[in-house]
């Protein structure tokens, strides 16, 4: 087993603690013999003196005989590469100083996050990501969507890197794990590789995707969408931030100096594979007492906007039968959409609802609301949309649908319009990536592995959906408390974060080995 010593300056220090390396040239020996303030140690490392003592920095100029190569490692050597749980969590909470959200507990880290994409807080987290990965020897590329690609060279740098990726932005009332854990697990992977003097066959990378949440600029996973050529750059750049702001995505990128010159495209920053560690954001792993979700794909979903148009009227003088109450009608639709989802073992949710004119004594004439419908299969989502279109028109017209009107006063008819804003068909991840994740999970979990993993379909969309259109992809889920996410109380145990990061590391290494 490898003994990993956490240090505060770990992100700037490469310490080899691997037995194979210790036998070749131990870190202690190297430090003892090196007193020059900065000089080449070999053609991959230099020693630098700093306030924290001597540091060995990677320079990645060429290969070396004493380097551990993934393709030459046996299963035992591979499995012995371990992430440092304490360092991972310290790093994660360190960056959560930028955009700290609502407090839910007494401990310093028991707060949510409110780090909207491209906000000042997001800029600080991005700066940390760039500085940290550069200090770990990575080449950093920023594209026209502000996606940040940090690449650690391998032996063969002509082929594209194998990536770990996720996002640093959060919902306005989000938590510390959604997206953030995935990026930090990628950075921790770089640190483990560095401190263990591992040279991969091909480059490995960590990517931070911009505005995954779609919470500030209302199109989620927009930047991996542009990268995969699924969303036009112009559409993305002209996204208006949600009320009450006035920025577009491109002006916000410029404002924080993250509008890169490299095209946002898989042809400019290609990927051999994309692995994403993420909290499950649902309760299934926790309920089943499992530790790792091997994600085979992502469920289908559509985002709709429903507009109900009735007539404003006075609440005190308009008898119920003379009303065209847009909010009462919308309430029936909301309740009905839930029943439609229940009947199909699917999901229907409304997260946004606006009404006009908005006065206590005026019956609203117009209501507009979002409707998010999801199911594992495309045909179920399509069927739900058909049902909703038919039934919502009936509800607006005043017809009784499923007993909704029982005990109600018949009212005047209303109009309804339904717009499909976003369609994400069901996604199947790549068998090779799924296999790499499975092997990594069994390696990380040991003999009891089979009882602790669950194959599953992701309920949420992720950047991996778009990545999967252009490269082999899979995801790793870890349980989060009570399945709560998009909430300040979102929580993943430290050991589960580390276990997920360990599976991510092992997945990337195994994929790298198998590229041949």
Site for a copy of itself in 338-397 (CB under 8 A): 338-339, 341-343, 347, 349-353, 355-365, 370, 372, 374
Nearby residues of 158 by Cβ (< 8 Å), 6 or more positions away: none
Which candidate, 235, 225, 104, places its Cα nearest to that of 174?
104
Taking CB under 8 A as the criterion, the residue among 65, 106, 234, 316 binding a copy of itself is 316
Size of the site for a copy of itself (CB under 8 A): 80
* Cβ at position 484, least distance to a copy of itself in Å: 6
Q: Which two tokens stand for residue 121?
A: 């807080």
Rounded to 5°, angle at Cα 182 from 179 and 186:
145
Taking CB under 8 A as the criterion, the residue among 99, 218, 225, 472 binding a copy of itself is 218
Q: Which two tokens stand for residue 256?
A: 């924080």
- How crowded is the C-beta side of 318, counted as CA atoms within 13 Å? 19
Q: Which two tokens stand for residue 486?
A: 């998009």
Span of 77-85, 158-166, 181-189, 318-326 interacting with a copy of itself by CB under 8 A: 318-326
Judged by beta carbon, residue 114 or residue 196, the one nearer a copy of itself is 114
* Cβ at position 304, least distance to a copy of itself in Å: 10
Q: Which two tokens stand for residue 37?
A: 């303030």
Q: Is 489 left (phi over 0), alpha (psi -120 to 50) or beta?
A: alpha
Q: Is 361 exposed, middle or buried (CB count within 10 Å of its CB: 0-12, 13-18, 19+)?
A: exposed
Judged by beta carbon, residue 25 or residue 362, the one nearer a copy of itself is 362
Q: What whole-number distance in Å separates Cα of residue 417 and Cα of residue 368?
A: 9
Q: Assess 224 for contact with a copy of itself (CB under 8 A).
A: no
> Do residues 305 and 468 touch, judged by C-beta distance below 8 A?
no
Q: Assess 402 for contact with a copy of itself (CB under 8 A).
A: yes
Name the DSSP class of 215. Answer: S
* Cβ at position 479, least distance to a copy of itself in Å: 12
* Cβ at position 282, least distance to a copy of itself in Å: 4
Judged by beta carbon, residue 148 or residue 298, the one nearer a copy of itself is 298
Q: Assess 314 for contact with a copy of itself (CB under 8 A).
A: yes
- How crowded is the C-beta side of 206, counted as CA atoms within 13 Å? 30
Judged by beta carbon, residue 273 or residue 371, the one nearer a copy of itself is 371
> 314 - beta bridge partners?
362
Span of 23-31, 136-144, 165-173, 388-396 interacting with a copy of itself by CB under 8 A: 165-173
Taking CB under 8 A as the criterion, the residue among 11, 70, 171, 464 binding a copy of itself is 171
* Cβ at position 173, least distance to a copy of itself in Å: 4
Q: Assess 458 for contact with a copy of itself (CB under 8 A).
A: yes
Which candidate, 401, 400, 476, places its Cα nearest to that of 433?
476
Q: What whole-number distance in Å separates Cα of residue 186 and Cα of residue 209?
A: 13
Q: Report how far apart the first and last C-alpha atoms of the chain are (Å, whole number).
A: 27
Taking CB under 8 A as the criterion, the residue among 469, 482, 514, 515 binding a copy of itself is 482
Nearby residues of 112 by Cβ (< 8 Å), 6 or more positions away: 100, 101, 102, 103, 104, 173, 174, 175, 176, 487, 488, 489, 490
Judged by beta carbon, residue 105 or residue 357, the one nearer a copy of itself is 357
Backbone angles phi, psi at 27, to 5 degrees: -60, -40
Instruction: Find the binding residues for a copy of itself in span 63-92 (CB under 8 A).
Output: none
- Determine if the peptide bond prior to 242 is cis (ω within 30°): no
Residue 96 CB neighbours (<10 A): 24
Question: DSSP characters for 12-68?
Answer: G------HHHHHHH-HHHHHHH--SSEEESSSSEEEEEETTEEEEEE---S--TTSE
> Do residues 67 and 25 touch, judged by C-beta distance below 8 A?
no
* Cβ at position 144, least distance to a copy of itself in Å: 25
Taking CB under 8 A as the criterion, the residue among 15, 266, 296, 486 binding a copy of itself is 486
Judged by beta carbon, residue 357 or residue 431, the one nearer a copy of itself is 357
Instruction: Find the binding residues for a copy of itself in span 488-507 (CB under 8 A).
Output: 488-489
Judged by beta carbon, residue 443 or residue 485, the one nearer a copy of itself is 485
* Cβ at position 228, least distance to a copy of itself in Å: 19
Judged by beta carbon, residue 172 or residue 398, the one nearer a copy of itself is 172
Judged by beta carbon, residue 91 or residue 463, the one nearer a copy of itself is 463
Q: Assess 313 for contact with a copy of itself (CB under 8 A).
A: yes
Taking CB under 8 A as the criterion, the residue among 140, 334, 418, 435 binding a copy of itself is 334
Q: Assess 235 for contact with a copy of itself (CB under 8 A).
A: no
> Do residues 156 and 73 touch, judged by C-beta distance below 8 A?
no
Instruction: Find the binding residues for a copy of itself in span 237-276 (CB under 8 A).
Output: 244
Judged by beta carbon, residue 193 or residue 363, the one nearer a copy of itself is 363
Q: Which residue has the tokens 């036009």?
A: 232
Judged by beta carbon, residue 190 or residue 328, the one nearer a copy of itself is 328
* Cβ at position 335, least distance to a copy of itself in Å: 5
Judged by beta carbon, residue 67 or residue 311, the one nearer a copy of itself is 311
Q: Three-state DSSP class for 232?
A: coil
Judged by beta carbon, residue 77 or residue 305, the one nearer a copy of itself is 305
């Amino acid at each position: 087993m490898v003994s990993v010593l956490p240090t505060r300056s770990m992100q700037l220090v490469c310490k080899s603690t691997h037995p194979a390396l210790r036998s070749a040239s131990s870190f202690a020996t190297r430090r003892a013999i090196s007193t020059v303030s900065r000089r080449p140690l070999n053609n991959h490392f230099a020693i630098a003196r700093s306030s924290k003592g001597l540091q060995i920095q990677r320079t990645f100029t060429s290969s070396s005989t004493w380097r551990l190569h993934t393709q030459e490692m046996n299963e035992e050597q591979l499995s012995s590469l371990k992430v440092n749980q304490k360092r991972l969590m310290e790093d994660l909470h360190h960056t959560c100083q930028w955009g700290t959200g609502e407090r839910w507990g007494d401990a310093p880290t028991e707060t949510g996050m409110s780090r909207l994409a491209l906000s000042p807080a997001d800029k600080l987290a991005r700066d940390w990501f760039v500085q940290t990965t550069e200090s770990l020897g990575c080449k950093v590329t920023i594209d026209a969507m502000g996606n940040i690609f940090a690449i650690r060279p391998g032996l063969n740098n002509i082929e594209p890197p194998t990536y770990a990726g996720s996002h640093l932005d959060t919902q306005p009332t989000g938590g510390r794990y959604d997206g953030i854990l995935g990026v930090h697990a990628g950075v921790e992977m770089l640190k483990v590789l560095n401190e263990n003097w591992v040279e991969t066959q091909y480059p490995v990378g960590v990517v931070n995707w911009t505005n995954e949440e779609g919470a500030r600029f209302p199109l989620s996973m927009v930047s991996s969408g542009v990268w995969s050529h699924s969303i036009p750059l112009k559409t993305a750049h002209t996204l208006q931030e949600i009320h009450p702001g006035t920025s577009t995505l491109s002006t916000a990128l410029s404002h924080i100096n993250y509008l890169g010159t490299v095209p946002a495209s898989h042809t400019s920053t290609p990927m051999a594979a994309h692995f994403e560690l993420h909290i499950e954001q649902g309760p299934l792993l926790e309920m089943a007492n499992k530790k790792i979700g091997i994600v085979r794909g992502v469920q289908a979903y559509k985002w709709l906007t429903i507009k109900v148009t009735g007539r404003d009227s006075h609440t005190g003088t308009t008898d119920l039968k003379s009303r065209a109450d847009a909010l009462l009608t919308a309430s029936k639709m909301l309740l009905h959409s839930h029943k439609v989802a229940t009947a199909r073992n699917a999901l229907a949710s409304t997260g946004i609802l606006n009404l006009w004119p908005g006065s206590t004594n005026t019956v609203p004439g117009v209501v507009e609301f979002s409707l998010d419908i999801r199911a594992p299969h495309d045909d179920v989502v399509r069927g739900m949309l058909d049902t909703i279109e038919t039934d919502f028109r009936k509800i607006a017209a005043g017809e009784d649908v499923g007993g909704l009107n029982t005990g109600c006063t018949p009212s005047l008819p209303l109009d309804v319009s339904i717009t499909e804003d976003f369609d994400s068909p069901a996604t199947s991840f790549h068998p090779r990536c799924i296999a790499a994740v499975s092997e990594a999970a069994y390696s990380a979990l040991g003999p009891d592995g089979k009882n602790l993993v669950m194959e599953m379909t992701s309920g949420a969309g992720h950047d991996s959906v778009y990545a999967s259109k252009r490269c082999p992809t899979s995801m790793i889920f870890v349980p989060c408390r009570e399945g709560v996410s998009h909430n300040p109380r979102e929580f993943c145990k430290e050991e589960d974060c580390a276990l997920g990061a360990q599976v991510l590391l092992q997945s990337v290494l195994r994929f790298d080995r198998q590229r041949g």
